[in-house]
């Protein structure tokens, strides 16, 4: 790997993470530019890594370097907060409604999202023209990604019934495709 590729990759990753982190922390102006520019720089960083180290190692190095740079930004924020002397408040005791909402959220995130992602990924693998072994690999690769995305959506959506309905419909559609 040449020094030029290494330098360009690290600088692009650092600038991309800085733009994304600044937009996330709302330290940058509320313009549309920082987020797409940050992702573009991360893509350029990955391209430099692949150009310098080859596809086999370049993708791994790009992900590793970007993660390390992001952790450095998070660590720097932690150091700033400790210096400010932020006061911690006592934890609040959960009331009955909060417990019920969190129980519903648990049911959405763990069993319903898991079942929906398993059924959808299995239905997808059956629709592909691949051997049985390759279909199993597709299920094993796609199911955790779908489960994570479904869990994130269930937690992030302010209306929990929307992801619950979509996950239930997805699970039913997957089951119908599998058994038909």
Distances (CA, A) of 108 to 4, 6, 98, 124, 139: 48, 44, 15, 22, 21
Highest mean pLDDT among 22-31, 51-60, 165-174: 165-174
Tell me which residue of 111, 99, 123 sits closest to 154, measured CA to CA: 111
Is residue 21 pLDDT above 70, yes or no? yes
Angle at Cα 145 formed by Cα 139 and Cα 149, nearest 5°?
135
> Quick one: 145 exposed, middle or buried, by C-beta within 10 A (0-12, 13-18, 19+)?
exposed
pLDDT digits (tens, 9 = 90+) for 145-166: 999 999 888 888 888 788 889 9
- Structure-token pair, residue 65: 């370097």
| Residue predicted with more confidence, 95 or 147 | 147
Tell me which residue of 176, 117, 115 sits closest to 146, measured CA to CA: 117
Measured CA to CA, the distance from residue 32 to residue 120 in angstroms comes to 35
Is residue 8 pLDDT above 80, yes or no? yes
What is the overall mean pLDDT for the chain?
87
């Amino acid at each position: 790997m040449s020094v030029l590729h290494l330098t360009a990759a690290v600088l692009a990753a650092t600038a991309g993470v800085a733009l994304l982190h600044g937009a996330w922390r709302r330290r940058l102006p509320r313009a549309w530019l920082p987020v797409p520019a940050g992702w573009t720089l991360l893509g350029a960083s990955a391209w430099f890594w692949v150009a310098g180290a080859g596809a086999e190692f370049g993708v791994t190095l790009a992900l590793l370097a970007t993660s390390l740079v992001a952790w450095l930004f998070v660590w720097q924020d932690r150091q700033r907060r400790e210096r400010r002397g932020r006061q911690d408040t006592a934890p609040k005791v959960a009331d009955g409604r909060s417990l019920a909402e969190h129980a519903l959220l648990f049911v959405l995130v763990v069993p319903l999202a898991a079942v929906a992602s398993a059924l959808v990924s299995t239905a997808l693998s059956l629709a592909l023209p691949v051997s049985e072994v390759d279909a199993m690999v597709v299920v094993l690769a796609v199911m955790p990604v779908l489960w994570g995305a479904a869990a994130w959506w269930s937690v992030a959506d302010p209306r929990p019934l929307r992801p619950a309905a979509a996950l239930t419909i997805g699970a039913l559609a997957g089951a119908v495709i599998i058994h038909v």
